Structure 1
Amino acid sequence: MTLMKSIGAAAAVALILTTTATAETRVTYKSAKAGSSYFQMAVQIAEAMKAGTGGDISVTVEESQGSVQNVMEVRARGGDYVFTTPPALVGLAQGGKAMFEGKSDPAFAEIRALFPIPSLTMHFVMSQDSGVTSFAEMEGKTILLGSGSFGAREGAKYLELFGLEGKVTVADSELSNAVNALKNGQIDGFVTAGSFPAPNVIEAAASTGVTVLSLNDEQIAQSKRTRLTIPAGTYTGQTEDITTTSLPVVAYSTTKMDDDTAYMLTKTYWETRENMAKDAAWWAGVSADMLSNITTQIHPGAIRYYKEIGVSLNDAHM
């Protein structure tokens, strides 16, 4: 074989190997602790991406210790990194405020949103036997808040805001015990935050009968959180919509991710969302309207998809 033919053959082999190696785009998706609903969502998204792209995008799910860690890791990650966090934390990171004070990094300015996922939704769950149908009626009752979670902190905040601090007994127990404690009459209610329908609320509603409290306009304004409606029929015995508050959660990447990958991730997510909702009802509550909860820039690749389907974006997104 001549030298030129050898070079040509080698180049052809290299081209084939390169094409094979780049046929699959690998993405790391970092969300939450294993066993949580958000970790389950991450696994569902990974499966949906594989099915929706015919294997062209492969998503590896990584366990996380929380949203702050997810944002902080942007500093050391590459273009294959996708993570979830509330939009407010991205704003704090980019402004070097609160938990990010003194930890500013140029990488935070490169964070870009892809798509919203189910919000953390507040549930104030009272047993039917308690007779409680409003926050005022919680006075003198025993409530389980749990500890260390967003729901526990938010629940304690609401009790203070609504004039109930010191007027209810806070049970000293973990949230994992809430449904059994409610069944046994050890508590009158519990507070939980998660995507709806929440598994522990489903169990409590089906086994003992519960009332999930609604917040009025003044209470929602006091909370400084996002209004959210849980449709009637979500839980057993729920005949009316529940008005409550939520903390939006969004999937993000950075400008290190190429536009085509961001486009395919976003497109596949929305096109497989309905199928995911057949397996897990929390996806049914996600809509393009939730893009309004994103307060910083959206990735150009994702913007391309939103423009294709005619979704309106605001100036902050561009």
Structure 2
Amino acid sequence: MHKAITRAASVTLLATAVCFSSAASAETRITYKSAKSTSSYYQMGVQIAEAMKAATNGEIIVTVEESQGSVQNVMETRARGGDYVFTTPPVLVSLAQGGKAMFKDKGDPKFDTIRGLFPIPSLTMHFVMSANSGVTDFAGMEGKTILLGKGSFGAREGEKYLELFGLKDKVKLAEVELSNAVPALKNGQIDGFVTAGSWPAPNVIEAAASTGVKVISLTDDQIAASNRAKLVIPAGTYAGQDADITTTSLPVAAFTTTAMSDEAAYTLTKTFWESKAGMGKGAPWWNGVDKGLMANLTVKLHPGAVRYYEEAGFALTDKQK
């Protein structure tokens, strides 16, 4: 068994198989499919894997598998077994189960077996303007040079918001890669940039510390128009931020299928919540995950996860049960 563990670890955190047993020392081996290896969500997966191993004395071994995106993660449930855990926005699970949007004509009975486990940090919108620009709200962005990036959720969402709030064709879109946002802001090449990810966002931390920025808050009406979940980034998260930032987010959660045993789902969920505070000491994005995010898990939860939540006093909806 130890050779098997070593072999799995040597494949740069690739997929493993599940090996359940009734013995007390049984080792549960899980594949956690997250995102591209360069993303913060992949790093979160690694942190979860480390926490699971430490908290269970090696009885749960999680290996992280790189993914090309949330849609792929959902699609792969068709060919995966009881060892499969993946991350995706809950809305994609609902679309898959309804055969809608990107899942139209791609339905599969396996989609109906997807069950939720626990929330992870949300994809949080940041509209970041340089302090020198003087911009403090969306209207003030008119005539400014904004970097949206290309192809990402943040870029698509940012473009949608510019249109929603009457700024389409009223801002200049910079032809700069999002990875160069901070230097471009420093040298005045752009007035601001839009980024989406877990908070605190590394590029926003860097921009706030080195240049001085204003992260724009959205009004309640703007949040309602966006059709996204409201999220509050507490004051003091970024340098110079003396008030809460009210913005939008796309919830993300960890899922599995009914092929996973109740005991494994229970232990994974319990261990996640009991390890979260420890993970937050080294990675602040975990501090934004609390009971409040459970409301965003709008799909049915795994029975093993439900068992934990009921024991721990979480309030669940009828839909989640």
> Which TM-score applies when normalising by structure 2?
0.93
Alpha-carbon distance in 2 for matches of 1:22, 1:64: 31
Question: Is 1:83 matched with 2:68?
Answer: no
* Structure 1 residue identity aligned to 2:242: T
Q: Which whole-Å deviations, capped at 9, do the CAs of 1:121-145 have from their partners, x for residues lacking one?
A: 0000000000000100000000000
Structure possessing the higher radius of gyration over alpha carbons: 1
Range with bigger deviation, 305-314 or 19-28: 19-28
Q: How does 1:87-236 map to 2 (within 5 A)?
A: 87-236=90-239
Alpha-carbon distance in 1 for matches of 2:294, 2:216: 27
Question: Is 1:312 matched with 2:315?
Answer: yes
> Following TM superposition, by how much is the alpha carbon of 1:23 offset from its aligned partner in structure 2, in angstroms?
1.5
> Following TM superposition, by how much is the alpha carbon of 1:92 offset from its aligned partner in structure 2, in angstroms?
0.2
The equivalent residue for 2:287 is 284
Alpha-carbon distance in 2 for matches of 1:148, 1:54: 41
Structure 2 runs not aligned, ≥5 long: 1-20
Alpha-carbon distance in 2 for matches of 1:169, 1:110: 46
Alpha-carbon distance in 2 for matches of 1:134, 1:296: 35
Alpha-carbon distance in 2 for matches of 1:284, 1:292: 17
- Contact 2:71/2:92 (CA < 8 Å) preserved in 1? yes
> Following TM superposition, by how much is the alpha carbon of 1:264 offset from its aligned partner in structure 2, in angstroms?
0.5
Q: 2:259 pairs with 252, 256, 261, which one?
A: 256
Runs of 4+ in 1 over 2 A off after TM superposition: 18-22
Alpha-carbon distance in 2 for matches of 1:297, 1:48: 25
Alpha-carbon distance in 2 for matches of 1:92, 1:296: 11
Question: Is 1:47 matched with 2:50?
Answer: yes
Q: Which whole-Å deviations, capped at 9, do the CAs of 1:98-148 have from their partners, x for residues lacking one?
A: 000000000000000000000000000000000000100000000000000
The equivalent residue for 1:60 is 63
Q: 2:35 pairs with 15, 21, 32, which one?
A: 32
The equivalent residue for 2:296 is 293
> Following TM superposition, by how much is the alpha carbon of 1:20 offset from its aligned partner in structure 2, in angstroms?
7.7
Structure holding more helix per residue: 1
- SS state at 1:40 partner: helix
> Following TM superposition, by how much is the alpha carbon of 1:21 offset from its aligned partner in structure 2, in angstroms?
11
> Following TM superposition, by how much is the alpha carbon of 1:294 offset from its aligned partner in structure 2, in angstroms?
1.0
- Contact 2:25/2:59 (CA < 8 Å) preserved in 1? no
* Structure 2 residue identity aligned to 1:225: R
Alpha-carbon distance in 2 for matches of 1:19, 1:187: 60
Alpha-carbon distance in 2 for matches of 1:267, 1:214: 35
